[in-house]
Structure 1
Amino acid sequence: MERVVSIDRVNNLVKKSDFISRDLSWLKFNHRVLDQARHLDRNIFERLKFMAITASNLDEFFMIRIGSLYNYIDYGKERIDYSGLRELPFRKKLLTEAQDFVRAQNEYFIKRLRPLFAENQFKIAKISDLDEDQKEKVKNYFRKTIFPMLTPMVYDSYHTFPILMNKLLIFGVVTVSQTDKKDQKKLSFIQVPQNLPRFYEIEHNGEILFVPIEEIIREHIAKLFRNIEIQSVNLFRIIRNGDFTLEESDDIEANFLEELKRKLKTRKTGRVVRIEVEETCDRWMLRILKNRWEIDEDNVFRAPEGGMIDLTGLWSIVNHTEFKDRMPDRHPQVPPLSYSEQGETDIYEVLDDRDILLHHPYNSIEPLLELLDRAADDPDVLSIKLTIYRLAKESRVTNALLRAAENGKHISVLFEVKARFDEENNMREARRLQKAGCFVIYGISSFKTHTKLMLIVRQVEEKVTRYVHMSSGNYNEDTARLYTDLGLLTTNEQVCNDVSEFFNAITGHSIPTIYRNLITAPRDMRQQLIELIRKEADNARQGKASGIVIKINSLEDRETIAELYAASQAGVKIKLIIRGICCLRPNRPGLSENIEVGSIVGDFLEHSRIYYFHNDNDPILYSGSADVMVRSFDRRIESLFLVQNSLLKQQVINILRYNLRDNVNAYIMNEDGSYTIKESTGEPPFNIHKEFYEVTLDDIQDAKLF
C-alpha cells in the first residue's frame, strides 16, 4: 500500500532544489503549447491544431516519462529526481501537475473553442442534434459498416480479462442478466476499431456535422446485448507504458531486428499508466479497472460534459479537405543568403566556390535534395554515406539512394531503427535499400545514432572532391517545412576529413585521434563543452570579454548545468534559448544571477541547436544534432560542427540575435520554473517566424550578441 504523500512537503522540496525536474519542466512546456491554442489572432483550425498537439504530446509523455517512472516503482528500483524526490512522492507530484494541465486543457476546449464551431460552419454533433433523415443515415452506417466490426468481450468468472489496446477508445458496458442469479452484474468491453474514421460526416445547410464514432456506437450499443439489461455505458481510453530499453545484441543483422520487433509489441501490453474516462463513469467498473491495473485516482483523468476523450481526434477536423483554404498560407521559402542564385547555377560549382548555410524552414531543403539527386545519377560520383534518423513517408532521400545503388555507386547508410515511434517505417525503408545493394547498418550496439551527416565522394579525372552536409535536423523533407534547423553544405577539406573519420568510426572499427571541426558523442562532447564554458569563466575572472548564448531543445545534464552556474558566479553573462525541458534555475541569488532563460514556441517547432562562446571577442560557434542531455552525451552518437566561414558565422550570430529579440513567440523562465510571456516593453512586434523570411546580408553584417 502506498504511503500518504504530503503534497505541501513535496512542493517545498521541489522549491528548494537547485535543479528543476526534467518531467515537471516538460509539463510547463506543454502549457506553452496550450497557450498557442489561446491566441486570438489565430483562426479556429490553427487553435484546434495546437490543442491536438498538446494531446499527442501528453500521450507520449505518459508512455515514455511516466512509463519510465513506473519501471522503477514496479520493480522496486531506487530513483531520486533532480528535484530531490524519491519515486512515490515524485509520482504524486507529477500526476497532480498532469491533472492540473488536463483540467486547463478541457476547460479551454469546452468554454472557448467549442462555441466558435458554429460560426465556422462545422459542429461536433450529438445524435440528438440530428433530424430524422440524418439519424437514419447514421443508423445505416452503423448497421452496414460499424456493427460487423465490433466484438464485445465479457469479463466474468468464466472469461479472462481481455487485452485492451493502447490509445484506442473503449466502451465498458455494465450489464445485468436476470437469469444468472450467481453472477448478475457483468462487465463487457468493446474496442472502437482504429481503422474507422473518428467522425461520420454530414453536410447540412452549408455546415459540416462531425458525429463522433463513439456516439454512434453508444446510440446503438443495445444491438450487441440482446435480452440483457444495460446498466451503464462508459467510454474510456488507456495509455500504457511504452518505455523500453534494447539490450545489446551480438547478432546485429538478425537478432537485433527480431528483438526490436518483440519490444515494439510490448507497447500493446505494457502496464497502464493513465486512464481517461467520462466524468459520470460507472464507479463499479472503474473500481475493477483500477484494481486490475494497480492504479489509483491520480492515474484517472476525467473528461467533463462537453469535453472529448482523446483530443488528438481533432486532427480529423483540422486536416479536412473542406477547410484547407482556412489554414494560413505558408510564406514562400527564400534562397539561402550564401546561395542567392539557387536554382540558376550548378550545385557542384557553387560548393566548389563556397559553403552554404541552410536555415530551415525559411530556406528550402531543395539544395540538399538537388545535390543528392545529382549525385545519384552522376557517373563521376563514387560513393554516398548517410546517417538516417527519421524520413518522410514518401522519401526523396530513399529514392535517390536506391537510384544511386542501381547506378553502381557504393552506398553506406546508418539507419537508426530505434528512432522512437518511427521504428517500423525506418526498418521498412532500410530493407528496401538493403535489397537494392546498399550497405545498411542498423544502429551501433547500445547507442542511438542521432547525428545527421552526409558524405559524397566525386572524382573528375584526377581530382577527388568530397561534398559534406551536416545538420541539426533530419533528412526529412516534410518536417523541413515545419521545424527550424541549420544545415551546412561544404567541400572544406578539414571538415571533410573529420566527417570521413567519423563515418569510419561509426561504420567500422576506427578510433580517430582528434577532430579539428567536430565535437562528438559519446566520446568527449560533454567535456569539450564544459571546457568552452570554463574558458568563458576564466575570461570573466581576468576582466576579458565573455559571454555564452546557447539555443537548444533541452538542457538536462547536471554536470553541464553546474558549470553554467559556476560561470554565472564568475561573472559570465549567459543567455539560454531552450524550447522544452530546462533543469537549470535562472536568476537564483548566489547561484545563477547572470543566467537568463527564454523559450520560443510558435508556428514552427524550434529544433536547431547553436552554441556560442564569446571567447574575448573572437566567437566560437557550433551547431549540430545534440542537446545538453545525459542521453545525448552518454547514450547517443551525436556531432556538433564548427562554423568557420565569416559570413556564415555572422548569419548564425544573427539567428541568435533575432531569437533573443522575439517578443511574439517568446517566454521568460522564472526562478521557480514557471514561465511568463515576454513583454514587448513598447517595441513593435518582432516575430522570428516571419522576420527570418526577410533577413538580408545587410542585416547580418553588424550582428552582435555582447
Structure 2
Amino acid sequence: MTQTDFLTAPFDAPAELNADLRGPARFVNRELSWLAFNWRVLEEAENPKVPLLERLRFLSISATNLDEFYTVRVAGLRELAQAGNSTPAADGLTPTEQLELIDHDARMLMVRQQKVLEALRSEMASAGLVICGPDDLRQADRDYLTNVFLDQVFPVLSPLAIDPAHPFPFLPNEGFALALQLEHLENKRPLRVLLPVPQQIDRFVALPANKGRRYLPLEQLLLLNIDGLFPGYKIKGSCAFRLLRDSDLELEEEAEDLVREFETALKRRRRGEVVRMKMSSGAPSALRKLVMSELLVTDAEVVEIDGLIGMADLGQLVTDDRPDLLWPTFTPRVPERVTDHEGDMFAAIRKKDMLLHHPYETFDMVVRFLRQAALDPDVVAIKQTLYRTSKRSPIVEALCEAAEDGKSVTALVELKARFDEAANIRQSRRLERSGAHVVYGFVNYKTHAKISVVVRREGDKLVTYTHYGTGNYHPITARVYTDLSLFTCDAKLGRDAGKVFNYLSGYAQPDTLENLKISPLTLKSSLIEMIDAEITHAEAGKPAVIWAKMNSLIESDVIDALYRASQAGVQISLVIRGICGLRPGIKGLSENIRVKSIVGRFLEHSRIVCFGNGHGLPAKKARVFMSSADWMGRNLNRRVETLVEITNNTVRAQIVSQIMAANLADTAQSWVMGPDGTFTRAAVPQGTFAFNCHRFFMENPSLSGRGSAGASDVPKLTHTED
C-alpha cells in the first residue's frame, strides 16, 4: 500500500494469495510478527529525524525487548519442542519450525544492532559523547581509572577461581561475566577465573573530559586492572558472555497461599535454564568450551558478538544534560476543566464525563483523584485494581492513607504481572499493614482490567465515581505510554464496576452489566457480535465501517470474523502497534482491511474500537468503546479485561474525530502492513506535509477536558511542521 493518508485514501487493489484462504496461511506467525515490530523499533534508531540520544534509546529498547522475548516466548517454545510437542500454531508452524525461523531472524537483528551502534558512536563522538576503548585512553585516564577501580569497583567484585575446589558458580538471568585464562608470571601455572560484572555499578564509567562526555565500558575497566585483582598473573585469554534464562513462571494449580507460591516461583525463575548466551567473538577455544559445558549450553544457543554485549545498558547514556540531543521538552497539560474547579476532581467529574489522553494530559490527575479521595471525609470506600505500578507508588500511598483513616479500601493486586511479581508482593503487604482488604483475584486468570472506584456520601445518597483506564496505574510509564483515562459518575458504569470487583473478590459472576463487557465472560463474544452487525449493515446497503486500535491482534476467531466482514464489504482500518496475525489486502479474504503501525516518540498503548453502526465513521450514532484488552487469546479468554462503551457525546467525538482520526491520518511515523506480513514506512512524497499524530496531540487539548473557556469544536488535523 502506498497511500500517504490512511484516513481518506481508497483501499489498494487486492493482492493474490497462492494458498488455501481457509487454511493456516491466512494467519501471520505471532513470533515472527513480534520480531518485525522490534525491527521497526530498531529502524527508529536509524531515523535521522529522531534526536541522537533518542535514537540511542530506541537501540537500547530494541535490545531490552529482544531479551524479554527470549526469556519468555522463546523459552516457552523451547520447552514445547524439547517435550516433543509438534502441535502447530494457528499459522501452521510447529514449535521447532518457529524456533528455526526466530533464530535466523533474531541473529540478523543482533548483527544490525551492532552496525547501528557503530554509526551512532560516530555521530555521538562528533557531538562530544565518546564511548572509549582501551586504545583511546591516555596515561592520565589510566591513572584516574585506577583510583575509580580501587574506590568504587574493587569492593564489589567477587572473582571466582574455577578448579576442583571451586566449582563453576551460578549466574542469574541477565548475568554478565568475564571468563579469564591467566598465567603466573614466575612458575607459569595456569589459572582459570570467572569475574562477574557487578550489576550494582553503572555499566559505563565516566572519564574526565575538558568538554563533552567520555565513557569506558565497565568490563574494559576490569580488564585493565586484572593485575590488581590477581597480582603476579598475566592474561593469556579472555571472553565476555551474558546469559538469558527461562523466566516464565509455573505455579501449582491449587496454591493454598498464592503469595508464598509466587515467592518460591520467583526463586525458580532466577535459576531457569539458559535459553541464549551472547559471547564475544574470537573467544579462546578452551574458555568457550568450559563456559558452554558448565552452563549446559549448545552451539545453537550461543550468539557470537563482535561488539558490545548487553546493549540494553546503553539507556544509561541517555541523560538530561544534553537537551539538544533529546526530544524537545514537553510538559503534560492539566485539563482546563480541573483548573476551572480549582483542582477538585469530583466537581470536575460531576460536571460531565471527562476523558484524558495520556501523556498529553498529565497522569497526575489519576493520582489526584485517589489522593483527594483519601483525604475527603465524605468518601466512605475506595476499590482499586493494581496490575503494574511504580516502586514508590503515590497511588498505593493514597490507598494506605485512606485505609489508615478508616475508609473501606479494597485493592486487587495482580501477582501474575510478569516481571512485577516481586514488587506487587511488596505492595500488597504494605496495603495489608495499613488495614486495606487485599485480594489476588483468580489463580487461573490474570486481572488486567484498570478500574478505580470511589464511593462518596453526598447529602442523603452515595455517589460512585469511577475511573476506567487502558493503561496501568504507573506514573512513570504514563509519561511515555499513550493511554486513555475515563472519569465518570455515571451510575450505570459505577454499578458495573462494583459488580466486577465483587466478581474478583468473591467469585460472584455478574448476571448483567449495563455498559461494560468483560473477559473471559462476554468481551470476545460481544466483539464478534458487533463485527457481525456491521456485516448485516453492509448486506443491507448501509455504510459499514470498523476502526480499531490496539497493541496486538492474534486471536483467530476475531481475525476470522474480520475476514468475513471484509468479504461482506465492511471497510476496516486497524492501527496495530506490535503483533498482527491478520493478513490485510488479499483478494477474496481481506481486500477491505488495511493495517498500520505507529512507532514514534510515545509508545502507543491505548485500545479503542469504533463500529459505524449503519452510519459509517465518523458518525454521531457510531458505537465507541475503550478497552484494557488487546485482541489476543490471553486477553479475551484467560484474563479479566474490560470493554467500556462510551455514551457521552463529547467523549465519543473526542475518541472518533480526534484520537482515531489523528492516528489514521498519521504519515510521519507510520508503517503500513502488506499482505505478506511485512511493514514498510508510509510513503510521503517530497514536498508533502507529513502529519504527526503525536505532535498534534501535544498541541491540541483533549476535547472533553476543556473548560468553560474552551471551544466545543473538534480541532482540525494540523500541527506545526517539523
Please report the TM-score for the alignment, with normalisation by the length of structure 2.
0.90
* Larger RCO (alpha carbons 8 Å, 6+ apart): 2
**Are 1:241 and 2:246 an aligned pair?**
yes
Of 197, 204, 207, which residue of structure 1 is paired with 2:209? Answer: 204
Deviation at 1:634? 1.7
Deviation at 1:358? 0.9
What residue in structure 2 maps to residue 323 of structure 1? Answer: 322
Report if aligned partners of 1:415, 1:442 keep a CA contact under 8 Å in 2. Answer: yes
Say which SS state the counterpart of residue 204 (structure 1) adopts.
coil
Say which SS state the counterpart of residue 136 (structure 1) adopts.
helix
Of 188, 191, 194, which residue of structure 2 is paired with 1:189? Answer: 194
* Cα 1:345–1:222 shift into 2, 3 Å: closer
What residue in structure 2 maps to residue 129 of structure 1? Answer: 136
Deviation at 1:227? 5.1
Deviation at 1:348? 2.1
What residue in structure 2 maps to residue 365 of structure 1? Answer: 363
Identical-residue share of aligned pairs (%): 35
Of 119, 123, 129, which residue of structure 2 is paired with 1:116? Answer: 123
**Are 1:642 and 2:657 an aligned pair?**
no
Report if aligned partners of 2:75, 2:248 keep a CA contact under 8 Å in 1. Answer: yes
Whole-angstrom distance in 1 between the partners of 2:80 and 2:97: 13
- Letter paired with 1:122: L
Report if aligned partners of 1:63, 1:242 keep a CA contact under 8 Å in 2. Answer: yes
What residue in structure 2 maps to residue 279 of structure 1? Answer: 281
Say which SS state the counterpart of residue 680 (structure 2) adopts.
strand
Of 34, 39, 55, which residue of structure 2 is paired with 1:47? Answer: 55
What residue in structure 1 maps to residue 533 of structure 2? Answer: 535
Report if aligned partners of 1:199, 1:211 keep a CA contact under 8 Å in 2. Answer: yes
Of 557, 561, 579, which residue of structure 2 is paired with 1:581? Answer: 579
What residue in structure 1 maps to residue 668 of structure 2? Answer: 664
Whole-angstrom distance in 2 between the partners of 1:582 and 1:377: 45
Deviation at 1:178? 11
* Cα 1:137–1:469 shift into 2, 3 Å: same
**Deviation string, structure 1 residues 605-637 (Cα, Å, up to 9, x no partner):** 100000111110131111121000111012211
What residue in structure 2 maps to residue 4 of structure 1? Answer: none
Alignment map for 1:140-151 (pairs within 5 Å)? 140-151=147-158
Whole-angstrom distance in 2 between the partners of 1:80 and 1:441: 37
Of 397, 416, 422, which residue of structure 1 is paired with 2:414? Answer: 416
- Letter paired with 1:23: E
Of 159, 165, 169, which residue of structure 2 is paired with 1:162? Answer: 169
Deviation at 1:503? 1.1
Report if aligned partners of 1:626, 1:639 keep a CA contact under 8 Å in 2. Answer: yes
Q: How many residues align?
A: 684
Alignment map for 1:594-673 (pairs within 5 Å)? 594-617=592-615, 618-654=621-657, 655-673=659-677
**Deviation string, structure 1 residues 197-254 (Cα, Å, up to 9, x no partner):** 2122122221322111100111222444455564311011111111123233442xxx
What residue in structure 2 maps to residue 308 of structure 1? Answer: 308
Deviation at 1:537? 1.4
- Letter paired with 1:270: G
Deviation at 1:58? 0.9
Deviation at 1:517? 0.7
What residue in structure 2 maps to residue 553 of structure 1? Answer: 551
Say which SS state the counterpart of residue 17 (structure 1) adopts.
helix
Say which SS state the counterpart of residue 692 (structure 1) adopts.
helix
Deviation at 1:36? 1.4
Deviation at 1:458? 0.8
What residue in structure 1 maps to residue 566 of structure 2? Answer: 568
Of 203, 219, 242, which residue of structure 1 is paired with 2:224? Answer: 219
Of 29, 50, 68, which residue of structure 1 is paired with 2:37? Answer: 29
Say which SS state the counterpart of residue 209 (structure 1) adopts.
strand
* Cα 1:208–1:373 shift into 2, 3 Å: same
Whole-angstrom distance in 1 between the partners of 2:186 and 2:534: 81
What residue in structure 1 maps to residue 91 of structure 2? Answer: 83
* Cα 1:17–1:185 shift into 2, 3 Å: farther
Alignment map for 1:457-496 (pairs within 5 Å)? 457-496=455-494
Whole-angstrom distance in 1 between the partners of 2:231 and 2:698: 63
- Letter paired with 1:483: Y
What residue in structure 1 maps to residue 16 of structure 2? Answer: none
Whole-angstrom distance in 1 between the partners of 2:513 and 2:243: 48
Report if aligned partners of 1:92, 1:298 keep a CA contact under 8 Å in 2. Answer: no
Report if aligned partners of 1:276, 1:300 keep a CA contact under 8 Å in 2. Answer: yes
Report if aligned partners of 2:668, 2:692 keep a CA contact under 8 Å in 1. Answer: yes
**Deviation string, structure 1 residues 241-280 (Cα, Å, up to 9, x no partner):** 11123233442xxx21121112112222211111111122
Deviation at 1:292? 4.5
**Deviation string, structure 1 residues 337-385 (Cα, Å, up to 9, x no partner):** 8x37455363322322210011111111233322222211111111000
What residue in structure 1 maps to residue 14 of structure 2? Answer: none
Of 226-235 and 160-169, the range deviating more from structure 2: 226-235
Deviation at 1:132? 1.5
- Letter paired with 2:90: Y
**Are 1:404 and 2:402 an aligned pair?**
yes
What residue in structure 1 maps to residue 684 of structure 2? Answer: 680
Deviation at 1:149? 3.1
Say which SS state the counterpart of residue 576 (structure 1) adopts.
strand
Please report the TM-score for the alignment, with normalisation by the length of structure 1.
0.92
Whole-angstrom distance in 1 between the partners of 2:90 and 2:65: 22
Q: Which runs of 5+ in 2 are unaligned?
A: 1-18, 616-620, 704-710, 718-722
Say which SS state the counterpart of residue 505 (structure 1) adopts.
helix
Alignment map for 1:309-458 (pairs within 5 Å)? 309-319=309-319, 322-323=321-322, 326-336=325-335, 339=337, 341-342=339-340, 344=342, 346-458=344-456
**Are 1:63 and 2:71 an aligned pair?**
yes
Report if aligned partners of 1:13, 1:83 keep a CA contact under 8 Å in 2. Answer: no
Report if aligned partners of 2:598, 2:604 keep a CA contact under 8 Å in 1. Answer: yes
- Letter paired with 2:244: I
* Cα 1:645–1:292 shift into 2, 3 Å: same
Deviation at 1:646? 1.1
Of 363-372 and 341-350, the range deviating more from structure 2: 341-350
Say which SS state the counterpart of residue 534 (structure 1) adopts.
helix
Of 143-152 and 67-76, the range deviating more from structure 2: 143-152
Whole-angstrom distance in 2 between the partners of 1:295 and 1:18: 36
Report if aligned partners of 2:341, 2:347 keep a CA contact under 8 Å in 1. Answer: no
Of 101, 105, 114, which residue of structure 1 is paired with 2:109? Answer: 101
Of 540-549 and 160-169, the range deviating more from structure 2: 160-169
